[in-house]
Amino acid sequence: MISIRTTLLALLLGLGATAAVTAVAQAPAAATAKPATAKATFAGGCFWCMEEAFDPVPGVVSTVSGYMGGKTKNPTYEQVSGGRTGHAEVLQIEYDPNRVSYEKLLEVFWRNIDPTQPDGQFCDHGSQYRSGVFYHDDEQKRLAETAKAALLKNKPFKGEIVTEITKAAAFYPAEDYHQDYYRKNPVRYKFYKTGCGRAARLKQLWG
């Protein structure tokens, strides 16, 4: 099934639009050594939308859209979006644990996905758009499973939670034109997000 976003990208690329990757660092440069940072990786359908959700979170240092969970090395967007590689679109986050906890990042993640939708998110269908937590260590796994169990107990919506919790694998950054897409192409991005019904479904799920 061809998604709204795939059609939009075909039009955008067909017009010859290109964009350079812009910096996404959220924290100001420090005069002293930077504090230790950690990584978190989430799959929530369109990685453009996940960037928009996580970039404003205090303590998030940077975000990179990419692919994880498949078998093909160095996959392209065309391969992943065609559902031929097994990858999911993901957002890899570098964050400062002294400013934001992994539990907080999980909270942001859950509130920005439809955990009841199998093999897709909103108008985007296929395993490449599945929702999932890719944990980087045993502590992240424990926290993700705890958060999922709590949601199962207290969820404000009906439906089974199908979001996967999987060990992180090789991460492949997406092409340059995907990075910071919501900032660089606000009109096209708004058209996609509205047409995909993401905001309306999130409101229905979470209030």
- Write out 21-59 in H/E/C secondary structure: CCCCCCCCCCCCCCCCCEEEEEEECCHHHHHHHHCCCCC
User: Which tens digit of pLDDT belongs to each residue from 86-113?
Assistant: 999 999 999 999 999 999 999 999 999 9
Q: What is the pLDDT of residue 31?
A: 45
Of the pLDDT bands very low, low, confident and very high (cuts 50, 70, 90), residue 167 is very high
**Are 66 and 172 spatial neighbours (Cβ–Cβ below 8 Å)?**
yes
Alpha-carbon gap, residue 127 to 102, rounded angstroms: 25
Question: What's the CATH class of domain 34-206?
Answer: alpha beta
Domain ranges of the chain: 34-206
Residue numbers annotated as active site: 46
Give 8-67 pLDDT, tens digit per residue.
Answer: 565 555 544 444 333 434 444 444 555 599 999 999 999 999 999 999 999 999 999 999
Whole-prediction pTM: 0.84
